């Protein structure tokens, strides 16, 4: 059984990772897909994957989740600068793939947050383009009252 969406780096899971992995294994989980939501989250998840390499597979995804793109207090110009940096980081990570990276995501559009929709769309389009160029799966999440996740290839 595969857990296809587990944010291992977020609290409290990251602080009790050995227990989480042990519990997953006891429950019959044989692999986890851990989607990234920020640049720093990819790095943390890749370290987790390295730590458990050979004993428990942790696949990772490189993503820029709309909720974490930029603080809402920024101007549009400031949003553009921050997003350009994040997209550059994503392009670099995708061109030098860590062994654990299997997808681009978590990504999508979220109309319930203060990040301008034009910034979210730009981030989404960049992630789709990068996923296509490196032939990776794309992990989408849409937020309404229920989170629905889709894997697309």
Residue range 48-69, pLDDT digits in tens: 999 999 999 999 999 999 888 8
Q: CA 3, CA 31: separation in Å to the nearest integer? A: 6
> Which of 33 and 140 is assigned the larger pLDDT?
33
Alpha-helical regions (H) of 1-146: 17-26, 39-52, 76-95, 117-134
pLDDT digits (tens, 9 = 90+) for 68-118: 887 666 677 887 888 999 999 999 999 999 999 999 988 888 888 888 888
pLDDT digits (tens, 9 = 90+) for 25-49: 999 999 999 999 999 999 999 999 9
pLDDT at 73: 63
pLDDT at 53: 97
Categorize the per-residue pLDDT at 149 as very low, low, confident or very high, splitting at 50, 70 and 90.
very low
Angstrom CA distances, 63 to 12, 21, 103, stand at 21, 22, 8
pLDDT at 34: 95
pLDDT at 143: 54
Q: Which domain holds residue 63?
A: 2-152
Taking alpha carbons only, the member of 83, 9, 82 closest to residue 43 is: 9
Instruction: Provide the whole-model pTM.
Output: 0.85
Is the confidence at residue 148, as pLDDT, over 50?
A: no
Query: Which DSSP symbol is given to 120?
Result: H
Query: Which DSSP symbol is given to 57?
Result: -
Is the confidence at residue 10, as pLDDT, over 60?
A: yes
Is the confidence at residue 153, as pLDDT, over 60?
A: no
CATH number at residue 10: 3.20.20.140
pLDDT at 31: 96
Number of domains observed in the structure of the chain: 1
Categorize the per-residue pLDDT at 145 as very low, low, confident or very high, splitting at 50, 70 and 90.
very low
């Amino acid at each position: 059984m595969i857990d296809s969406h587990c944010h291992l780096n977020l609290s409290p899971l990251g602080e009790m990772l050995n227990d989480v992995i042990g519990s997953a294994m006891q429950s019959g989980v044989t692999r986890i897909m851990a989607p990234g939501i920020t640049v720093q989250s990819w790095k943390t998840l890749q370290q987790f994957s390295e730590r458990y390499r050979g004993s428990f597979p942790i696949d990772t995804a490189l993503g820029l989740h709309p909720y974490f793109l930029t603080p809402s207090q920024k101007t549009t110009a400031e949003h553009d600068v921050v997003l350009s940096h994040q997209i550059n980081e994503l392009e670099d990570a995708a061109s030098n793939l860590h062994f654990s990276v299997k997808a681009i995501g978590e990504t999508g559009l979220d109309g319930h947050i203060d990040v301008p929709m034009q910034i979210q769309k730009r981030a989404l389009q960049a992630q789709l383009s990068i996923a296509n160029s490196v032939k990776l799966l794309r992990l989408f999440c849409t937020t309404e009252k229920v989170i629905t996740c889709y894997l697309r290839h």
